Chain A
Amino acid sequence: MNSEDRADSGGPVLETRGLLKQFASVNAINYLSIAIPKQGITSIIGPNGSGKSTLINVLSGTLPIDDGIVIIQGAAMRAILPYQSPSHGVTRTFQEVRLFNQMTVWDNIMVVLTERSVLKSLFEGNRPAYQSRAKELLESVGLWEKRRDQAESLSYGQRKLLEVGRALAMDVRIYLFDEPFAGLFPAMLERVTQLLEGLKQQGKSIIFIEHNMDLIRRLSDYTFVLDSGELLAEGPVNEVLERPEVIEAYLGT
């Protein structure tokens, strides 16, 4: 990924223009236009059903775009194929943890490190470079001791951490975290917080969805508030959370 050289130029890292995503006749994302800043941690908040997860699903190609365009690092797209999202510099975690359950913790990390080309991957073994990277990642999420366990045997928090670790394994520019903190014990929560801040220090762009106001205040540099698939407010986090329409949207649900 040749993203570092573009890192310091201004402008948004990720932009949507008139983005539409419909489910049946409901506009889950209603002609949304936002521009996510290049630096730091951006949070997306909003009541349930406001389209936060849908937005991440669309940005990562998990759901197709119905209308509008997405501009990722300057490249405008009307459609994003899921397997192309890493080459656009995007990776993600899922709201409902989606691990490779009947594979070991080790293989869950290894599988995203290896060769993407079919032919090359057929002739590729466990390269030492992959192994040391996998070890490093598993240690950073505190699952090194569990490496031989099946992913499905992990506790909820551990599964969540493994998924964060799997996203960190991707050397990309933009990290989309869909509620990475939900249901975590304080110790684990602290670990994920540090991992996100570590990413920020590396100059990556982090976008996360969260409901916990303390975490949002503590972590995010910039915030978007969505409501019914539309942008309700945006700006620096403390300023946005003071706005009456934001407070109302939250209290209203």
Chain B
Amino acid sequence: MLDGLKTNSALRLLAAAPIRARARLGNNLELLINLVVILAAMLFMLYQGPGFAVRIIQLFAIFAILAVSLNLVIGYTGLLSIAHVAFFGIGAYTVAVLTTNPAYEQVPGHIRYFDWTFFAALPVGMVIAGAVALFVGGVLSRFRDDLFVLVSVGFAVIVHRVFLFWQPVTRGAFGIHEIGKPTIGGLVIDGRLEFMILSLAFLALVLLVSWLIVRSSFGRVLMAIREDKQAIEVFGYRTSMFKLTIWVISAMMAALAGGLIASEQTFIDPNSFLLLESIFLVCIVILGGLGTLWGSLLGALVFVLLNEGMRFLPFLPDALVGQARLAILGMLIVALMLFRPQGLVGRFRL
């Protein structure tokens, strides 16, 4: 009897060995991916010099805010939204309109000026994005899965058209120039390095808030909604309210990133807020891994590195670089989905 038990447990250990080995390999592979990406980023920045490094980190901070906030919606809640760029744009345009300097106006006609400071305009942008999200979310909640995706696409397209044609406010295709720079006390943040630090500070804030959200009871309910909305509803959770809340929070975070990029670039036009950007963002989130905040950071880093790094590919003629970047990015996404559908460091499937 005792012998039998022993053999039994030994056998079970033996049977479990490959599973544990695979788990360990999986963890090691994740670690390896992390190391490779971060090392590549560092080497690349060292090689290209500090100016380039600042630019890379600045872009990374913006894309990371966007990816982390979008992951709350896609990865944690299971809502495949292609509308994120719209909120990004609303944040950018609000800051642009409210802070632009009238002395540089290029569009004739009656345009109102506000001449606000950046830090006054930024929260307004977030609130407007949140309010729009609340309204759109109410409409979107009527649709499931594939229809939700389509309707979110429709919304992103509409917002882009508004930027393009609401001339008295957005200056249409001319775009908005001379967008205000943030000032803290008497200090104007106009240097690239200073702006990078500001962006990283906001990224840290967004990460902290996101982390608190996903660790809370609320975050757990979001994941349950992703897994089986109908089942969690029966246990007393009004899922539409949970979805709407995270949708609005995520939109406000995207607007924050928009405000930052508007001020950093000092110029925006509707072309910065095309549907394609949204698709890139979804790719970053999936690339990094659904339902992991760290994955979104990693995904944003990989995206920025590829996007900026491919300019320097020696064998590509200049005229083709822009096109090739998109093609290579697309191929990478396809390859990743084939061989690592959970993303670089993710665990979940949609």
- Show the binding face of A for B, using Cβ within 8 Å: 60-62, 82-87, 91-92, 94, 98-103, 107, 110-112, 114-116, 118, 121-126, 166, 170
Contact = CB atoms under 8 A, between A and B. Distances in A.
B234 A92 contact: yes
B324 interface: no
Interface in B211-258: 213, 215-218, 220-221, 223-224, 226-228, 230-239, 241-242, 245
Contacts of A99: 227-228, 231
Given A82-B233, A122-B213, 15 more contacts: A83-B238, A83-B239, A94-B231, A100-B231, A102-B291, A102-B347, A103-B223, A107-B220, A114-B221, A116-B237, A118-B238, A118-B242, A121-B216, A125-B215, A125-B216
A122 B238 contact: no
B223 A83 contact: no
B349 interface: yes
B2 to A, nearest CB: 21
Contacts of A103: 220, 223-224, 227
Contacts of B238: 83, 116, 118
Nearest to B241: A118
A100 B218 contact: no
A62 to B, nearest CB: 6
Q: Which 4 A-B residue pairings sit nearest by Cβ, starting from the closest?
A: A114-B217, A86-B236, A100-B227, A121-B218
B231 A85 contact: no
A167 to B, nearest CB: 9
Contacts of B347: 102
A110 B220 contact: yes
Contacts of B227: 99-103
A82 B223 contact: no
Contact size range, B: 20 to 34
Contacts, number: 93
A149 to B, nearest CB: 11
Contacts of B235: 86, 91, 111-112, 166, 170
Contacts of A84: 236
A112 B239 CA distance: 13
Nearest to A113: B217
B312 to A, nearest CB: 39
Given A83-B239, A122-B213, A124-B217, A100 B224 contact: yes
B135 interface: no
B218 A122 contact: yes
A98 B233 CA distance: 12
Nearest to B220: A111
Given A94-B231, A100-B228, A124 B218 contact: yes
Contacts of A100: 223-224, 227-228, 231-232
A62 B235 CA distance: 11
B236 A83 contact: yes
B166 interface: no
The listed residue with most A CB atoms (<10 A of its CB), out of B226, B228, B234, is B234
Interface string B261-287: 000000000000000000000000000
B165 interface: no
A190 to B, nearest CB: 22
A91 B221 CA distance: 17
B348 interface: yes
Contacts of A102: 223, 226-227, 291, 347-349
A62 B238 CA distance: 13
A115 B235 CA distance: 11
A170 B237 CA distance: 12
Given A100-B231, A114-B217, A121-B216, A85 B223 contact: no
11 contacts: A62-B230, A82-B230, A82-B233, A83-B234, A91-B234, A102-B291, A102-B349, A103-B227, A116-B237, A118-B238, A170-B235
Contacts of A85: 234, 236
Interface in B292-322: none
A112 B227 CA distance: 14
B349 A125 contact: no
A234 to B, nearest CB: 26
Contacts of A123: 216
A101 B241 CA distance: 22
A62 B234 contact: yes
Nearest to A60: B234
Contact of B245 (A60, A82, A86, A118): A118
Contact of A82 (B216, B217, B234): B234
Contacts of A126: 217
The listed residue with most A CB atoms (<10 A of its CB), out of B213, B217, B220, B227, is B217
A203 to B, nearest CB: 21
Contacts of B221: 111, 114, 121
Contacts of A62: 230, 234
Contacts of B224: 100, 103, 111
Nearest to A108: B224
Contacts of B348: 102
A94 B234 CA distance: 11
Given A100-B224, A100-B227, A125-B216, A111 B232 contact: yes
A87 B242 CA distance: 18
A83 B228 contact: no
Contacts of B228: 98-101
A204 to B, nearest CB: 17
Contacts of A170: 235-236
